[in-house]
Structure 1
Amino acid sequence: MTRRQTTGTAGGGPAVEVRGLVKHFGDTRAVDGVDLEVREGTVLGVLGPNGAGKTTLVRCLATLLVPDAGTATVAGYDVVRQPRSLRRVIGLTGQYASVDEKLSGRENLYLIGRLLDLSRADARRRADELLERFSLTGAAGRPAGQYSGGMRRRLDLAASLIGRPAVLFLDEPTTGLDPRTRNEVWDEVERMVGDGTTVLLTTQYMEEAERLADELAVIDRGRVTAGGGAEELKARVGGRTLRIRPADPGELHRMVGAIAQAGVGGAVADTAEGVVNVPISGDEQLTAVIAVLAGRGFAIAGIDTHLPSLDEVFLALTGQKASAPPGERRPGEHHEEYEEAVA
């Protein structure tokens, strides 16, 4: 029987279930009544600006912090009452690589395997397997302090997988990585989920969220402010925009007038793009616009609908822009880990 089969998530229930979770730092509520679920074998992307409470939430679920109120179970274990059992079935990769820089890559992985009660032979075998999986075999004997940032990140991720975790917490795992290494990490996360691992991923990078997450939860000021699939959140924030490209660009303004006469407001001519943008709230409005344009004899070269981007959703829900790509943190930005530590 595998370790995953011994947990309480069999039958497709939630691998992570959080109800009313609260964590204080002095007078600051870093986590303020969070409710969320992560279905087994899926990825939940937790979005939020710096200081929103994402890292504190992960630390509570990974038993590194004791919550002040509420309940949480991970892989069937209560995070407060069963922390030692829980630690054996989870993995954690934080914002910064936590490997021992004086030990070699192989020694780092072997040490963690032994701490997880693997036999010497099994720890060596698992370390070599993961070194190969993360393209680190050639550097296995070198001290981790000599690794590049991307190599240390891959080693850190490998270390979190030594025990074949049922649930993996990834706290902004691609912070500071170059695009190639970032894509390698994404590929590995997708591979792990394909093997049955459940992942809770915190991120500020919209591309990362759209690539990896099955569902999203937006956290701001310690509370979940929105949740659902990416398309669901986009529809909730901005609705749809109908974009119509007339065959004759000179018809733009006449087309806007015809749409207004049909009782659909808000149509705007974008002369630079050569399209008319029409905000629509449902299929009835879309049908009405198409019908009036066909009835007036307009020749249409193209038509499509547009949902707001996930970046626009993030801005609408949190009042802040999403982060710059990895390695391009904006001046004045600080990691949430620091902000919460001083709270």
Structure 2
Amino acid sequence: MSEHTSVAVRDLEKSYGNKTVLDGLCLSIRRGSRTVVLGPNGAGKSTLLEIVATLRSPGSGTVVVEGQDVVAHTRQARQLIGLAPQSNALDPLASPQEVLDFQGAVLGLHARAARRRSSELLDLFGLGEHRRTRIAKLSGGTRRKVDLAVALVNAPSLVILDEPTTGLDPLARMDLWEELKRLNANGEASTLLISTQDLHEAEVLASDIVVLREGNVAAHDSPDVLKSLVGERTLTLALDSPGTARALVGASRAGFRAEPGDPGTVRLALPRDPAVLRSALEDIGSVAASVQQMRLADPSLDDVFASLAAA
């Protein structure tokens, strides 16, 4: 296991009856990353996270978290992992202070150390004013911050989050995204492993993306690399007349394509070759006075998902 690897998964298999959910899956999760796992229903996302979190045993294969095998050394591995499950399991009648103190006791911290860690986390998440408020009276976004605080009580090397913003309103979601990035940047949550169905959430959070399909890894790289593999950056120009558009398409040295269904529009897949790009810009410059609108579009994670996860 490399010193730069937080989680190493090798030849992981898991079946339920006759259904194979994970089929020889291999994966290395980079230490310090925000790794988002994507895939259609049934691809094995939840099972993978549950095995890494020591909540489920693999059929075969190995999972090593920060040097600890999750099967052979389950107790030691659990000390390195913080888990924020999708469904909120906090006692609605308890306060954030009580929940955090209790979690510290469960993890074996002495009372004074548990209280000190609780105070640190309440301050870290800006929850000081809510420390004695019942969980039931907190907003969804604030409850989710308490969930995260609970996951960090043991100062874990790896934090696993399952659908972290499900049920939150848009402002609360954006706030939590910024909180997660901040925690990752300052080292409080050095490695994040996140499962989500929300492609926009993945776009905002991910430094690395793992795409699962049929129980195995279909792709694993940065969002930008994956998008470049499945799509192209395009420039679409709306011109003042179909004739001008046709002339540009016919004369261009850069391979313009007419946009289907709109005779006054042309579309260019932006070339990577600098010489070809310069030619394209010169061609565009020749009709600059005729340009009414222009739109630059990058490939998206929707394109990645459609191409790699659903193939």
Tell me the TM-score normalised to structure 2 length. Answer: 0.87
- Once the two structures are TM-superposed, the CA of residue 286 in structure 1 deviates from its matched residue by 3.8
Which of 203, 211, 215 is the matching residue for 1:222? 215
Q: SS in structure 1 opposite 2:88?
A: coil
Contact 1:149 1:177 in 2 (8 A): yes
Among 42, 57, 67, which residue is 1:66 paired with?
Answer: 57
Q: 1-side partners of 2:181 and 2:278: how far apart?
A: 42
Q: Distance in 1 between matches of 2:28 and 2:170?
A: 30
For residue 241 of structure 1, report the CA deviation from its aligned partner: 2.7
Look up the match of 1:113. 104
The letter for the 2-side match of 1:47 is L
Deviation digits for residues 97-149 of structure 1, max 9, x if unmatched? 12223332211110111111211111112112222333333332233234333
Kindly report the root-mean-square deviation, in angstroms, between the aligned alpha carbons of the 2 structures.
2.9
**Could you tell which deviates more after superposition, 187-196 or 83-92?**
187-196
Residue 245 of structure 1 deviates from its aligned partner by 5.6
Q: Does 1:102 align with 2:93?
A: yes
Partner residue in 1 for 2:161: 170
Does 1:53 pair with 2:47? Answer: no
One-letter amino acid of the structure 1 residue matched with residue 33 of structure 2:
T
Residue 180 of structure 2 corresponds to 189
2:16 paired with 1:32: no
Unaligned runs of 5+ in 1: 1-7, 321-343
Which residue is 1:325 aligned to?
A: none
Contact 2:271–2:277, Cα closer than 8 Å, also in 1: no
Judge which range, 218-227 or 56-65, deviates more: 218-227
Specify the SS of the correspondent of 1:16.
strand
SS in 2 for 1:128: helix
Q: Judge which range, 309-318 or 139-148, deviates more.
A: 139-148
Which one of 310, 314, 317 corresponds to residue 308 of structure 2? 317
Helix, strand or coil at the partner of 2:136: helix
- Residue 246 of structure 2 is matched in structure 1 by 253
Amino acid at match of 2:257: A
Determine the C-alpha separation between the residues in 2 that align with 1:291 and 1:136: 53
Q: Distance in 2 between matches of 1:211 and 1:291?
A: 31
Moved more, 246-255 or 62-71: 246-255
Equivalent residue of 1:239, what SS?
coil
- How do 1:1-343 and structure 2 match up within 5 A? 12-196=3-187, 197-244=190-237, 251-259=244-252, 262=253, 264=255, 267-269=257-259, 275-279=265-269, 282-283=272-273, 286-287=276-277, 290=280, 293=283, 297-299=286-288, 306-319=297-310
Contact 2:9 2:26 in 1 (8 A): yes
**For residues 215-269 of structure 1, what are the alpha-carbon distances to aligned partners after superposition, in whole Å with 9 as ceiling and x for unaligned?**
111112222111211121111112343434658775112212224xx584x7014
Rounded to whole Å, the distance in 2 between the matches of 1:69 and 1:289 is 56
Question: Helix, strand or coil for the counterpart of 1:251?
Answer: helix
Partners of 1:191 and 1:273 in 2: how far apart?
Answer: 47
Whole-angstrom CA distance in 1 between matches of 2:236 and 2:119: 54
Distance in 1, Cα, partners of 2:112 & 2:286: 77
**Structure 1 residues 287 and 102, CA, compared in 2 at 3 Å: closer, same or farther?**
closer
Q: Is the 8 A contact 2:213 2:310 kept in 1?
A: no
Letter in 1 for 2:73: Q
Change in 2 beyond 3 A, CA 1:184/1:297: closer
Q: Give the letter aligned to residue 267 of structure 1.
A: R
Give the partner amino acid of 2:26: D
Tell me the TM-score normalized by structure 1: 0.79
**Unaligned segments of structure 2, at least 5 residues:** none
* 1:3 counterpart residue number: none
| Contact persistence 1:242–1:286 (CA under 8 A) | no
